[in-house]
Amino acid sequence: MREKMRDLEERDRVRNFQPPITGDIIMKTYNLPPSSVVGEIKEVIKNAILDGIIPNDYDAAYRLMEDEATRRGITH
């Protein structure tokens, strides 16, 4: 039972986690409307933080947002 509770708490923690870069920041930075690409960039940032690839801070997340946008051909 305790193991199941730990698993449930971990899933809730991941589900409720909010990265420092929001969809609103992505849309404003690149003048984008709400779209799947905004969600995809946000998801890349979230996964990179959860996987320990980047720290959970604004500057690192912003740099990854810029890298991901460039990779997708999105410019300011």
Buried b or exposed e, range 27-50, using 16+ CB within 10 angstroms:
bebbeeeeeebbeebbebbbebbe
Burial (CB < 10 A; 0-12, 13-18, 19+), residue 62, is middle
Q: Give the mean pLDDT of 13-25.
A: 85
Q: Give the mean pLDDT of 53-60.
A: 96
Q: Give the mean pLDDT of 7-24.
A: 80
Q: What's the confidence (pLDDT) of residue 14?
A: 65
Q: What's the confidence (pLDDT) of residue 9?
A: 77
Domain boundaries, given as residue ranges, for the chain = 2-71
State the CB neighbour count (10 A cutoff) for residue 69. 18
pLDDT digits (tens, 9 = 90+) for 38-53: 999 999 999 999 899 9
